[in-house]
Every structure is written in structure tokens, then in C-alpha cells.
Amino acid sequence: MSRALAALLAIAAVALAPRAHAAPEHYAIDPDHTYPSLEFPHMGISVWRGKFNKTRGSVVLDREARSGAVDVTVEAASIDFGHRVMNELALEGEWLNVEMHPALRYIGDIKFEGDVPVAVDGKLTLLGVTRPVELRIHTFKCIRHPLFRREVCGADASGTLDRAEFGLKQGTEGGAGRTTLRIQVEAMKRD
């Protein structure tokens, strides 16, 4: 066999060989840099805003397959409206009922456009009721963390839901249950 033919066969073998698939990457949600928040009308005259201070979870990214998954748990009792009375009311049975439902959970699949995550098609469990909630990802970026020397990714996302559909009836009359979710999240790549 000539050297040229051997070289051509070697190139063809490399071109036709199965490509190694990069493994999905796993990230742990950073609870010190992740704060799901919500906002909704208050008596039609202003907008109440609150955030949850305790969040944990994970993100899986498979950039080559352009897919991923999110699994986040939020401690319901960590709600903070910056108003003591509203915080107390939110914990009771008419609202989050933290005694019976201590956590909210969001699980979903990440959708990509090209190489960029743009949305999460997920389900939220609130008050024991699970319903679809899509989150739109407005920004997404990964960098090498300057202190930990590992990749960290951050995103800003938002979505909407109707609190009444989850069984939260107080203050939801006449469409007032429409709630905007805003989520800032950072997640550190696991070793």
C-alpha cells in the first residue's frame, strides 16, 4: 500500500470514528448568591416584593447536547418582604402554610437556542400542588471563579404564575393572583 493511500485511510478513519461526547457538567446552587423573588399587586395600589433567603439545588449542563436540568428547593419560611407583619402572614395557612408545606420545589429542563440557555421548561410545587411554570433566561454567563478556581455560572430569569392555581386564595380575586417570579442564581461547578 502506498504511503499516500495509507495516510488517506488514516484521515478517513479519524473522520469516521465516533466522537467522544463530553460528559454533562454538574453544578451546585450557591445559596449565598441565589435569591428567588416574587412580586404581586397589593390592593391594586402598589406592588409587594419579597424574596426567599434559603435556597439549595443543582444544575446539570450538557453544552454539547444543548440540554440541561434544574432542581431547586426553596425553604418557604425564609420569605422576606422587608415587613414583619407581612412576613408573619406569609407563613400562615392562608399563604405559604409552612407548617404543612415547608418547601417549594422547582424541577425543569433547560432549553437552548444555539449554544445559549434561554429558558427552563419546568414545574413548580407550591402548597402541595404541582403546575407548569416556564422561566425565561435573560442573561447567562460562566467564568472561572477568581477565588475557588472553578467554573461558576450565573443567570437571571423570570416567569409568571397565578397563585390561585396553587390554592393560595387570599388576595387573588379579579386576577390579582398573577405573580411575577424573578430569580438570580449562581452555581459552582462540582469537582
Poorest-pLDDT segment among 2-16, 90-104, 167-181: 2-16
Mean pLDDT of the chain: 87
Greater pLDDT, 3 or 62: 62
Q: Is the pLDDT of residue 16 over 70?
A: no
pLDDT value at residue 48? 87
Can you spell out the DSSP letters for 55-97?
EEEEEEEETTTTEEEEEEEEEGGGEE-S-HHHHHHHHSTTTT-
Taking a C-beta distance cutoff of 8 angstroms, is the pair 184, 156 a contact?
yes
- Domains in the chain, CATH or no CATH each: 22-189 (2.40.128.110)
Question: What pTM did the predictor assign?
Answer: 0.84
